[in-house]
Amino acid sequence: MTSTTSMPLPEQHPTHRFKQRMLRTNACDVLPVTLRHERIYILPTKRGLAFIAVVMVMLLASMNYGLNLGYALSFMMVGLFASCLLSTYQNLARLELQSIAATDTFAGKQAHFVVTFAENRKRTRHSISLTVEGASDRIDVKANSSKSGTLRLQDCSRGLMKPGRLTISSDFPLGLWRGWGYIHPPVSTYVYPRAESPTAEFNNHSATTSDKTTKQFGEQEYKQLKRYQKTDSLGSVAWKQVAKGGDWYSKDFEPESTSNNTVIRWQDTPANFTLEQRLSRMCAWVVAAQADNISFGFELPGITLKSQSGPEHVKHCLRLLSTYSLPEANPVKNR
């Protein structure tokens, strides 16, 4: 007997195209994205269904009792219901999702996604709701302007985080209809490990030792002459200038050189710690090094970075920690 496995449908298959058209399951959007008619879905809300039920009761009562005013009021409410459908559609149609910006964060804290919309059709958009993974925001976009909304995702876990499918919806003007559209934002953010608190003392003696070379004035590199001050040492006075009868000057030397051998290493974390605990401790060391504004090297199994300083180096190290996982052991082949 041969077993058959279900193969994924190709993108050209009618069933696949219908599913993508209705549910927007594939992340294939490229910013900027404009909400056109094929992306907008509209259905009555609970309030809209109740409105229809009231109109039907009014119409049946008018037919039963022959009330002309009842007919007129029923037809007017039906017209209002239909006009709200058009208004809800126009409130979303041609709205442009311009950009999405994300900021890195630490595990257990909020991740912020800033969504910016642009309106170029001289129409104010009211009560635009943004929803993704339980986070939501509501904004109004004025005519010929742009507006940003912020989505705050709670309790993020370590790793590369993608917000998932973004739902843009509105029930303007009366809440009788709800229109919505789906967009897969091509954006992601890094969630760093939760920094250990309090920060453990760095116990790598060779890594924390700073070798400072102190030079005498004659050995230091001469830089320039400067006006003599009372705090200057007599050994730095430019006596030749004084002997010529000129003003008092002192020699200015290059500052003494300092070499920092700090290296944050995986092997300096306790071996009995779990993966997350070891990453958390290394994260705390990186944050502490940034606070002290010192240069440091960085080592993970299979990854080595030279000693550097600055926000870009810190961000690089934290991103490596956020996506790191222990390499799997090589399988033993049976011979």
Residues 131, 224: one domain? no
The H or E element spanning position 319 is helix 311-322
Residues 268, 251: one domain? no
Amino acid at 23: L
The whole-number pLDDT of residue 156 equals 85
Summarised one tens digit per residue, pLDDT across range 229-282 is 656 655 566 656 656 666 666 666 554 444 457 899 999 899 999 999 999 999
Q: Which domain holds residue 33?
A: 18-190
pLDDT bracket for residue 205 (50, 70, 90): very low
d(CA 101, CA 185): 10
Residues 243, 263: one domain? no
d(CA 194, CA 197): 9
Residues 242, 278: one domain? no
Q: How many Cβ atoms from other residues are within 10 Å of residue 180's Cβ?
A: 19
305 neighbors 297 (Cβ within 8 angstroms) = yes
When divided into structural domains, the chain yields a total of 3
> Is residue 209 included in any domain, yes or no?
no
Summarised one tens digit per residue, pLDDT across range 95-138 is 999 999 998 999 989 899 999 999 888 889 999 999 998 799 99
Residues 50, 104: one domain? yes
Q: Does the reported pTM lie above 0.85?
A: no
Residues 252, 269: one domain? no
Tell whether omega for the bond before 14 is within 30 degrees of 0, i.e. cis: no
